[in-house]
Amino acid sequence: MTTTDKDIQFISPLTGEVSFADEWYGAASADHFWFEWRFNVLMCSLRDMDVNIEAPLKVMEVGCGTGILIKQLEQVTQWRIDGVDLNLSVLQKAVTGRGRKLFYDIRQECKEYLETYDIVLLFDIIEHIPDDAGLVLSAVRHLKPGGLLMINVPALSLFLGAYDKATGHLRRYDKVSLNRVLDGVPLMVRDIRYWGGFLVPLLFLRNRILRRPNSVARTVECGFRPPNNAVNRLLKLAMKLETRLIARVPIGASLMLIGSRT
């Protein structure tokens, strides 16, 4: 089931609509190895922190897109997840779950939403925002005291390239730079980990392949979508090997952080 305008609560003005490379959403699917990898890492981190997935927690995902992460989480938790996005065309296509769909710029900090959530998810969103620290601070203000902020970002600025530019990435992070974003934010870091260690060589290869100018659609196609199902399955195998055999990789293509509001 997908949403219509009647299913969306408009909190921010329509002039706030933004686009983070719509072509990327066309290449995204729940079966994609990267989405499964990211989700598995998140679940490992939640288990390590003893986060209760059976409790009916109130959760907000900022930049929910078509709702892939919401669907993944609602299949294994009792959480009620509100999906927030400023890309109206994508939000209209989002799969509905137990929560609401909100057209809302959290930087507006509407009072009725502040300090109301147990968890806020900022997955692959802050790298698109010039003031990443400001967005993180606004996200934290939506948390109850002690609530959890979960962030995922692309890692390793050395590999910032044509794919990142096409998809609207302003930066990639490491542990130092991501922690720097949290300066002055009332948040205690409880877990931070790289993931996708086996993908690091592919970052180098992707940058080499995409050195020549291409359209955004072509760059996203080459840089994100596996060329065939066999490659997608092979990368899922790499995911299983890494997540089962290596608790924490020393370096990876992505970086995940979980902190609690103080």
Over residues 86-126, the pLDDT tens digits come to 998 899 988 878 999 999 999 999 999 999 999 999 999 99
Q: How confident is the model at residue 235 (pLDDT cuts 50, 70, 90)?
A: very high
Residues 6+ apart with CB under 8 A from 58: 79, 80, 82, 116, 117, 118, 119
Average pLDDT, the chain: 93
Instruction: Reduce the DSSP state of residue 131 to 3 states and report it.
Output: coil
Taking residues 192-217, what's their average pLDDT? 94
Summarised one tens digit per residue, pLDDT across range 128-147 is 999 999 999 999 999 999 99
pLDDT at 3: 46
According to the model, what pLDDT value does residue 2 have? 42
* Closest residue by Cα to residue 190 from 122, 258, 247, 139: 258
> Once rounded to an integer, what is the mean pLDDT over residues 206-225?
92
Q: Lowest mean pLDDT of 5-9, 13-17, 64-68, 190-194, name the range.
A: 13-17
Could you give the C-alpha distances from 17 to 2, 28, 112, 197, in angstroms and in order? 19, 20, 21, 35
Percentage of the chain modeled with pLDDT above 70: 94
pLDDT at 84: 96
pLDDT (tens digit, 9 = 90+) per residue, 41-74? 999 999 999 999 999 999 999 999 999 999 999 9
Tell me the C-alpha distance between 36 and 198, whole Å.
15
DSSP SS3 for 112: helix
Report residue 82: phi and psi, to 5°.
-85, 125
- Answer with the residue of higher pLDDT: 233 or 93: 233
Question: Domain 5-261 is in which class?
Answer: alpha beta
